Structure 1
């Protein structure tokens, strides 16, 4: 049920929700206090929530670990509030979030959102990136409860994203709480390594400075947060996320392991269903989406995806598919299952599924090449027929995303004199594939001409049937 304060017409816009007695933090980091603006003044259909920033003053000591001041309550009212806070903590300790996740596994995003806002009130906030997770804000609005929204401004976002932030604030009548990176840390990184060092040594360091540390400071003022993570978003990292969990990576206002709860209301929702919801509810969208962008981050590290590509391939495209996390959700990254692929006496794959991971590209039109088979292709300078081979890993969402088009292509080429094959190039075979088969990231597609000693790497990231056919026809 929505707070009575949110709907009462008698509440002044200057009335304040009672301040948490534990809100004073070292380094002037303060817990948020909210001013309630009656929704009936200007927009009858929506509430307007004016919220002070998570941290009104940036800490003077650059320390990622922020702890509350230990101070005795000055008044009886503060003592009562402190006692209530301890009672709330004891109640939270009794919650089995694994069990709660199982109970909510089949719940709708709206039900999960309502549960999160009801349970944590002003101690929870929605993490908004400026992409399709605007759906989270719409779900929060539909609950009728007050809610908070924060976002990380890395200083390198697209202009379209900043305009989108402004449109969202006006549409919902809210103030997004922006978190910024430490200027001295950014200055040191750029001076020492340049503006685009991530193209050479990976994106993790830049993301740590511009995103992870600001997020850590933001979460230290909360007891829970809400994300737009979905299981279908990223290969190898998000497939098992629950709808609610004890955050494995960050700490909340109380500090320590288990002090922060992470809610993922759309974990079980597919991207197309998110977009159906966004269109139905007619909410603002980032104009970059109409330009082919699906997953949107910083401007230097984001680009549109092409036909046949998975949405996360637009992020950090120069890196391996499994590295496509910035660190905000590093707790998702699980150990890679199935590092090794057993073979029988003929060198063929002994099994098609390893540790529960099903194989892909399973059709009679595609030859499953073993290590000896791919070695033979490399050694032959005069082949009886040309070959098209995909280097893949079955856990890779990008490989899974092109499976339908590759199978269709194989069936089209059946009987034409061109062989179509696949070679599993992860695990023990990865080093060999990188050194001998030009493997950069999954999937890599190679064409072995009839009269050539070396394979030709498919240079495009378009993996639709027509594009692949054009590549083959140009080399036949």
Structure 2
């Protein structure tokens, strides 16, 4: 196999790592040497029906990475319906899901650890008493705090995290051609593909299944339908071809607050960046603290729209019909109907296209206006709904109107050209005696920050 067993529970189960004599040089960039493994007499090969799977690809960076040792004898090809299994486990606890995953796949499954709150996955695996393996992608651009956290986790659980590195030549070509920070100008996808996606692809080709920390409440429009187990729609496993890899998401149904309650209760080590306002943690140039009123995913790739909040590791979450539905790559992340609206209160005026056009034309308004440009499917807009409604309540009767304008779909181009829309939500202040609206420059969306903005312009 491509990974070593990294569990500390040898007293309960004898790991195949201890039975194996091979070694892996984890520090060699772009190199990935398989272990010599004993052939198991009742080897199970997974033949499963793919869900939205991509065509088979052959774009491994290092060809030797795919030359993994497979069993000489396969006694049985077993087909399993993982959609049905997902339904059976829908109401199961994360511990139960983790136990089922490790029971089914043993040494052929590994936990993907990013250095954030998905340390909960390692704790759940530890609690099962079964052998388990942990791997992580070292992009070369992680925060120092994250590297320190990796070391703390290894010592706490008595394991060795198995690191995958990007191909040195590809990184060198990217940096020499486009510089160190090209993603700020043309999007993060290319850098993520080199530093994360392709190393992950190589790693997964040595597995039959992997375990992720995806949750339904994490990302706008892309993770709201994540099941606890699925056939991976993007990557290939050890046997190759579509449907050859199974993806487990034990905490899919768990809320972020509940994850943190679990970590505190179990006294689990956590990344020190969390205490500085970081929630979703990735590479240093692409991650920042979350501000009041923001959704946790806004700390990632903040210069891009909500549709781009996946790096490519879980791009199978993004469905084509969702891209077409809103033209923004997102749907409701909270499971509500696509047409459900936000800011529905008597204190917030609902502006139509003619209404906001008239507001733009007025040079001498009788009242000042605060207007939010929003999309009801956007989790970031949903996150600020409470503070914006409270703002409207505080300004009621003050002579300042509070309004909303839905700026997605057919109205997006108009909003970008005429209303300074960059991303959702955008907040504008229309002064009494000025034709040009003033854009709220901060991403702090708590009511006190919004009130300070309004008061400063009166």
Range into which the TM-score falls when normalised by the shorter chain: 0.7 to 0.9
SS in 2 for 1:175: coil
- Equivalent residue, structure 2, for 1:316: 301
Is 1:370 aligned to residue 352 of structure 2? Answer: yes
Which protein, 1 or 2, shows the higher relative CO under an 8 Å CA cutoff with sep ≥ 6?
Answer: 2
Distance in 1, Cα, partners of 2:456 & 2:273: 33
Distance in 2, Cα, partners of 1:14 & 1:459: 54
> Which of 299, 323, 338 matches 1:336?
323
| Paired residues of 2:204 and 2:210 also in contact (CA < 8 A) | yes
Q: 1:356: Cα distance to partner?
A: 3.8
- Equivalent residue, structure 1, for 2:256: 271
- Equivalent residue, structure 1, for 2:216: 231
- Equivalent residue, structure 1, for 2:162: 177
> Which of 288, 311, 327 matches 2:312?
327
Measured against aligned partners, the alpha-carbon deviations of 1:315-334 in whole angstroms (never above 9, x if no partner) come to 11111122111100000012
- Equivalent residue, structure 1, for 2:44: none
Distance in 1, Cα, partners of 2:346 & 2:360: 23
Distance in 1, Cα, partners of 2:17 & 2:81: 38
Pair 129,8 (structure 1): closer, same or farther in 2 beyond 3 Å: closer
Q: 1:287: Cα distance to partner?
A: 0.4
- Equivalent residue, structure 2, for 1:346: none
- Equivalent residue, structure 1, for 2:428: 446
Q: 1:216: Cα distance to partner?
A: 0.3
Q: Count how many residue pairs are aligned between Structure 1 and Structure 2.
A: 416
Task: Provide the TM-score with structure 1 as the length reference.
Answer: 0.82
Q: Which runs of 5+ in 2 are unaligned?
A: 1-6, 23-29, 39-59, 328-334
- Equivalent residue, structure 2, for 1:285: 270
Measured against aligned partners, the alpha-carbon deviations of 1:102-150 in whole angstroms (never above 9, x if no partner) come to 1111111111111100010000000000000000000000111100000
| Paired residues of 1:64 and 1:217 also in contact (CA < 8 A) | no
| Paired residues of 1:64 and 1:213 also in contact (CA < 8 A) | no
Which is higher, the Rg of structure 1 or of structure 2? 1
Pair 445,179 (structure 1): closer, same or farther in 2 beyond 3 Å: same
Measured against aligned partners, the alpha-carbon deviations of 1:70-128 in whole angstroms (never above 9, x if no partner) come to 99xxxxxx75xx124xx2xx22x2x1111111111111111111110001000000000
SS in 2 for 1:7: coil
Pair 68,254 (structure 1): closer, same or farther in 2 beyond 3 Å: farther
Measured against aligned partners, the alpha-carbon deviations of 1:293-314 in whole angstroms (never above 9, x if no partner) come to 0010000111101110111111
| Residue correspondence of structure 1 range 28-427 to structure 2 within 5 A | 31-32=34-35, 62-63=61-62, 67-68=66-67, 79=72, 82-84=73-75, 87=76, 90-91=77-78, 93=79, 95-334=80-319, 335-336=322-323, 338-339=325-326, 356-427=338-409
- Equivalent residue, structure 1, for 2:19: 16
| Paired residues of 1:310 and 1:398 also in contact (CA < 8 A) | yes
Measured against aligned partners, the alpha-carbon deviations of 1:160-179 in whole angstroms (never above 9, x if no partner) come to 00000000000000000000
Q: 1:384: Cα distance to partner?
A: 1.5
Q: 1:355: Cα distance to partner?
A: 5.9
- Equivalent residue, structure 1, for 2:11: 7
SS in 1 for 2:326: coil
| Paired residues of 2:34 and 2:69 also in contact (CA < 8 A) | no
Q: Which runs of 5+ in 1 are unaligned?
A: 20-26, 36-60, 72-77, 341-352
Task: Provide the TM-score with structure 2 as the length reference.
Answer: 0.86
RMSD, aligned CA: 2.8
Pair 12,419 (structure 1): closer, same or farther in 2 beyond 3 Å: closer
| Paired residues of 2:31 and 2:65 also in contact (CA < 8 A) | no
